[in-house]
């Protein structure tokens, strides 16, 4: 009876979020999540509500994007740290860049429902792919079409995840958490990258030219998917399975060569650290520590020293976790690849919306891990980004808690990846 009451209370809060301001939603849910007993069955009506709620929320977002008259409804879906009136702004900027490639220097474009004017030449900070593709189309109409397609791909990729009653409720919370909402509202290209990689790895596996072609394309679009190509190379070397090894070796080297040739690592496309409440990457945190706590700008060698120390802390955490047998889960190759890909992004991630990738990574932990780990992962999502709080002590405390949880999750993933490689048979 008590479990049913808690579940119904959580469902009421989820539906309340759909119609009210979002700012404190994550913090309100955290106590209920932490004290929720997950060992019970959901009724059909409860499952329906947990599916219908997120659908209704994202339907509200897409409807409110179509008219400036819906500004209040659009803004109410975003956390305060991510709040902004630009509809699907990241995608509009990408298409503006492609439009500039077509019309050339001197042309301009005004982002829909804003006063922002994109003047050509125009940089977006992504990979070399966008330097060579040209588009002559209605930017706003194309934005709406591509946003719908990207979101449908995201939904399809989520359908490939196996849910059970014990994690169904938590996944419903993750799907409407701040980083996922922001990823959709900005329609950042990551939503396409994360979902398509997950689909291709699970549908075709890494030993398929479709997957290899996708990774080449994505690495030229936003660079970091090339990390996954090198992860696959390392896996094949360690397991002495050289099928497709040389294809990946040649493709990754050629992709990196083209990226260097285009100047991606020496221009505005370089990684930019963000403020600490909007990041979870270890390199970005190192930069924030140097800037915020030591009040210093530049001196990147000191940032690397901090990065090295924080990395050692994570490795120590993973070592301690390895002694906890109930935190070890059996991985298949696809799960190993996605976990490793997440950790490669965790090294530098400069915005919390990249936590969305964790949704595709934590399936074995959600299905087989203890309730405490499931709850901790959910709390990490709900703390990202943090709502703007005027009391500095509380705000800094929440940042500290979020960092600790991030490093705990990283240590957990490293432990399971290590045991997959060296303590169990590779399938």
Is the distance from CB of 126 to CB of 222 less than 8 angstroms? yes
Task: Kindly state the tokens that stand for 339.
Answer: 């976990």
Render pLDDT for 103-121 as a digit per residue (tens, 0 to 9): 777 677 777 777 677 777 7
Confirm whether pTM is higher than 0.85.
yes
List the alpha helices (DSSP H) in 135-208.
139-159, 165-175, 178-186, 190-204
The whole-angstrom separation of Cα 349 and Cα 63 is 30
Per domain, the residue ranges of the chain are 2-80+148-422
What φ, ψ does residue 108 adopt, rounded to 5°? -135, 160
- 357-399 confidence digits (pLDDT tens): 999 999 888 888 888 898 899 999 988 888 777 777 888 888 8
Nearest partner of 112 among 78, 83, 143, 77, judged by Cα? 143
pLDDT tens-digit series, residues 121-172: 777 778 788 888 888 888 888 999 999 999 999 999 998 888 777 788 888 8
CA dist 226 and 50 (Å) reads: 36
Residues 203-221: pLDDT tens digits?
A: 998 888 999 999 999 998 8
């Amino acid at each position: 009876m008590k479990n049913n009451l808690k579940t119904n209370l959580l469902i009421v809060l989820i539906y309340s979020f759909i119609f009210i301001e979002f700012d404190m939603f994550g913090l309100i849910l955290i106590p209920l999540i932490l004290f929720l007993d997950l060992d019970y069955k959901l009724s059909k009506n409860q499952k329906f509500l947990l599916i219908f709620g997120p659908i209704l929320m994202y339907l509200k977002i897409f409807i409110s994007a179509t008219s400036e008259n819906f500004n209040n409804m659009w803004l109410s879906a975003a956390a305060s740290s991510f709040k902004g009136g630009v509809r699907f702004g990241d995608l509009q900027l990408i298409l503006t860049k492609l439009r500039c490639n077509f019309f050339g220097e001197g042309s301009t474009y005004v982002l829909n429902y804003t006063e922002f004017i994109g003047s050509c030449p125009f940089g977006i900070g992504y990979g070399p792919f966008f330097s060579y593709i040209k588009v002559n189309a209605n930017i706003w109409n194309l934005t709406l079409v591509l946003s719908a397609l990207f979101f449908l791909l995201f939904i399809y990729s989520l359908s490939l995840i196996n849910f059970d009653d014990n994690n169904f409720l938590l996944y419903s919370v993750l799907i409407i958490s701040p980083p996922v909402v922001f990823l959709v509202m900005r329609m950042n290209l990551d939503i396409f990258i994360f979902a398509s990689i997950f689909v291709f790895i699970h549908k075709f596996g890494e030993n398929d030219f479709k997957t290899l072609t996708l990774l080449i394309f994505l690495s030229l679009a936003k660079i970091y998917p090339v990390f996954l190509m090198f992860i696959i190379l390392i896996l094949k070397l360690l397991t002495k399975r050289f099928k497709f090894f040389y294809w990946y070796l040649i493709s990754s080297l050629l992709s990196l060569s083209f990226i260097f040739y285009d100047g991606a690592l020496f221009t505005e496309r370089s990684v930019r650290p963000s403020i600490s409440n909007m990041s979870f990457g270890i390199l970005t945190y190192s930069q924030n520590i140097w800037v915020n706590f030591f009040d210093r700008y530049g001196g990147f060698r000191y940032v690397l020293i901090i990065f090295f120390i924080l990395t050692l802390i994570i490795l120590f955490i993973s070592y301690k976790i390895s002694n906890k047998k109930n935190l070890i889960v059996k991985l298949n190759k696809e799960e190993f690849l996605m976990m490793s890909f997440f950790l490669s992004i965790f090294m530098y991630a400069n915005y919390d919306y990249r936590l969305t990738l964790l949704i595709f990574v934590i399936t074995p932990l959600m299905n087989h891990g203890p309730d405490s780990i499931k709850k901790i992962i959910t709390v990490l999502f709900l703390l990202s980004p943090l709502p703007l709080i005027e009391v500095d002590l509380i705000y800094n405390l929440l940042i500290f808690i979020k960092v600790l949880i991030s490093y705990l999750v990283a240590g957990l993933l490293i432990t399971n990846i290590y045991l997959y490689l060296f303590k169990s048979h590779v399938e």
